[in-house]
Structure 1
């Protein structure tokens, strides 16, 4: 199943997500970014290829033996950088793997000068939860990734952003991450990308 998931889903996912996230990054000035929970860094590399003025480095709890961008280890809660360290921070399917998403997101707001780019899930009912759990298990179990299945509803996301004083400047759903026929089960409103900026 892991091999099938890699060939049918993961390779497509990297390219589709890179396009969605790159569209949220201006291509008019040099930018420095941090990919939190970057894994091997494949999505960050694909974004850099689409936005050559943007340079990304990564941090992860589990640093893999081979990565395609520079990656440092961190404890999953505190980013080892000073305030306003980078122009933007990426969080791609990371917050639902944490037990305290607010704490990690608050750290991201601390080190980001301009924006935070999030890709994550929304679970508004038990069927959403069931599908997301299955996707997480298939996609992450072989990598030893923590699976607390901590999915938030739409209202919980809005409350979290409001508490931190950052708001979605742009938000998109219907990302079409999966090929047919899987898209009918695993896409829908389960996924979103958003560009957050400080609330005035």
Structure 2
């Protein structure tokens, strides 16, 4: 098991103040190595891992297809956890709420509908093995999410 992350961009206050320190602490306390990489090419050989988890990552990536392809390259299975649980992408209020919760501004918010995600996965040569929607609550706000378990076709 290895954690991989990219350095925060200028507008990623939440990533710099919350996510990175938590990931560093979890890595130290659990003994799980943590790798910072350029966001383009993961520093691992093909099929290095059984699974890669992309949790609420893709909608913040300027090039989500490249990230998906790279995750598929280094693993046998890709788990994608994303916002949105319906046939429509999250609305403007959802995007603003996401930016406020994450303290992140000035970066992509490429939320998609379920069908758009499925199309992107297929374009990357990934098939859906399983998917499940669920709802969470954070600070009194309700969030709709979907988990996709993907494998290479």
Question: Which TM-score band applies after superposition, normalised by the shorter structure?
Answer: 0.7 to 0.9
Matched, 1:158 2:118: yes
**Secondary structure of the structure 1 residue equivalent to 2:26:** coil
Residues 155 and 60 from structure 1, CA distance in 2 versus in 1: closer, same or farther, beyond 3 angstroms?
A: same
Matched, 1:74 2:31: no
Q: Distance in 1 between matches of 2:139 and 2:6?
A: 33
Q: Name the structure, 1 or 2, with higher relative contact order (CA <8 Å, separation 6+).
A: 2
Count of residue correspondences: 134
Matched ranges for 1:1-200 at <5 A: 56-62=1-7, 64-65=20-21, 66-69=24-27, 70-113=33-76, 115-122=77-84, 125=88, 128-141=90-103, 147-173=107-133, 175-178=134-137, 182-183=141-142, 186-187=143-144, 191-199=145-153
Q: Distance in 1 between matches of 2:138 and 2:64?
A: 30
Q: Superposition RMSD on alpha carbons, in Å?
A: 2.4
Deviations 1:121-160 (A, max 9, x none): 237557x22133123212222xx67631111222221111
TM-score scaled by length of structure 1: 0.59
Residues 167 and 131 from structure 1, CA distance in 2 versus in 1: closer, same or farther, beyond 3 angstroms?
A: farther
The answer on whether the counterparts of 1:137 and 1:147 sit within 8 Å (CA) in structure 2 is no
Question: How far off is 1:99 after superposition?
Answer: 0.8
Structure 1 or 2: more strand by fraction: 2
